[in-house]
Amino acid sequence: MKRVIIVSIGEATPGIAKALSEAFKLNHEILVKMLYNAPTVFLENAEEELAEKSKSMLSELGLEVLVQDMSEEAPAPSAPVDIAVYIENPAQLTLVNKQLSEFLGCKESESLQLLLNEPSVVLGGVSMATAESLQKRLEAEVMASNPKTDLYTLEITEKDPSIRSAILSLLKDQKVVIQKDTENWIKNITFEQLNTVLSRYRTQNGIRIYNQSFSRYTILLENFDLNSEEQTTFLNKEIGMPAESLAEIHANLPVILDESVNYSILQKKLAIYQEAGIQCTEERIPFGKYKIAISNITDTEKTGELLEKFFSGIQIGETTQRWKAPLPLDSILSRFLEKQLEYIGCEIEHEY
């Protein structure tokens, strides 16, 4: 007797669940859950002929399928993960949105809202195989997080000193390490610690919680030794800094080494930089909407045309030296606009 296993959603879409539900007389919702939580057992104790026919049908629908003997051990279920998406090139928003809507089986207007609401968590409680399938089909970075094993950052926005003190006290009771200069921004909180704090601070007003796996960071080069052949060679060969420019770069520190990397890559890069002996720091990139301010406006006509696509009542003249957005935009829309403004020579500042 045979076992039929759906290994991965592969190239299929959730829409196939309806066809499978009708063909195999199975509950539609259960089938959708099976697809997103693969590897899952689709059939057990099936005759070989039925198992092979099922595999053929499922494979034609785009699923990755395995047939095995009942004597073999079935694949262990994957720990559930949450999936977020980051679009590195904002010009690809339309393309990525179309790809995502097809994968999720939803309207493009619905998937767009997921992408605009950063961190763009698009699926929850699914398998790592689903995350891997999505990465293959999306022109964007896909991040997977096991919420029970990952770390969290808690931002305290509360202004009332007594409430702030109560929140900090709850965190200290859970042995959360709090640095004096970062009491508004507390990192590396475990799932268990966070749950205990939230169970006692039930209003949850004045705080924001971030899964560190979905956060984005900038890495700054703070210092290096110009007289160290090891460090200068590393910056030249591994980072790509021209050897003849290192003295000028050193005179203008800090400079950006990496822009918008996720937490996993951040940890790997910082370890590499530390081993090389260069001094680096990290800066978290805030989520949410923000305003931009523009300076070095050399082409007022083109600048005005670009801004009018996002804002109304634009007034930029030949004497305009600096322009500030009247309203904040979603991060990805701001980044899309910034790329175009930088192309024509504008300098951009962010105001969160």
Q: How confident is the model at residue 221 (pLDDT cuts 50, 70, 90)?
A: very high
**Confidence tier at 78 by pLDDT (50, 70, 90):** confident
Mean pLDDT, the chain, rounded, equals 91
Task: Place 80 in a pLDDT band, splitting at 50, 70 and 90.
Answer: very high
pLDDT at 352: 78
Task: Give me 59's structure tokens.
Answer: 């494979």
pLDDT in tens, 57-68: 899 989 999 999
Of 150-159, 176-185, 240-249, 330-339, the range with the highest mean pLDDT is 240-249
Q: Is the pLDDT of residue 105 over 90?
A: no
Residue 337: band (very low, low, confident or very high) from pLDDT cuts 50, 70, 90: very high
Q: Give the pLDDT mean for 294-318.
A: 91
Three-class SS of the chain: CEEEEEEECCCCCCCHHHHHHHHHCCCHHHHHHHHHCCCEEEEEEECHHHHHHHHHHHHHCCCEEEEEECCCCCCCCCCCEEEEEECCCHHHHHHHHHHHHHHHCCCHHHHHHHHHCCCEEEEEEECHHHHHHHHHHCCCEEEEECCCCCCEEEEECCCCHHHHHHHHHHHHHCCCCCCHHHCCEEEEECHHHHHHHHHHCCCCCCEEEEEHHHCEEEEEEEECCCCCHHHHHHHHHHHCCCHHHHHHHHHCCCEEEEEEEEHHHHHHHHHHHHHHCCEEEEEEECCCCEEEEEECCCCHHHHHHHHHCCCCCCCCCCCCCEEECCCCECHHHHHHHHHHHHHCCCEEEEEC
pLDDT at 100: 96
**Which pLDDT does position 273 carry in this prediction?**
97
Q: Do domains 2-69 and 216-285 have the same CATH topology?
A: yes
How confident is the model over 318-338, as a mean pLDDT? Answer: 91
Give pLDDT, residue 262: 93
Q: Which fold has domain 2-69?
A: Ribosomal Protein L30; Chain: A, (3.30.1390)
CB atoms within 10 A of CB 221: 21
Residue-wise pLDDT tens digits, 171-219: 999 999 888 777 788 989 999 999 999 998 877 788 989 899 999 999 9
| pLDDT band per the 50, 70, 90 thresholds, residue 159 | confident
* pTM, entire model: 0.84
CATH says 216-285 is which class? alpha beta
Span 21-34, mean pLDDT? 82
Residue 28's pLDDT band (boundaries 50, 70, 90)?
confident
Q: How many other CB atoms are there within 10 angstroms of residue 169's CB atom?
A: 11
Whether pLDDT at 286 is above 90: no
Residue 278 CB neighbours (<10 A) = 21
Q: How confident is the model at residue 51 (pLDDT cuts 50, 70, 90)?
A: very high
pLDDT at 98: 96
pLDDT of residue 139: 95
The domain limits of the chain are 2-69, 81-145, 152-214, 216-285, 291-351
Given the candidates 3.40.50.970, 3.40.50.300, 3.30.1390.10, 3.40.50.720, the CATH classification of the domain at 81-145 is: 3.30.1390.10
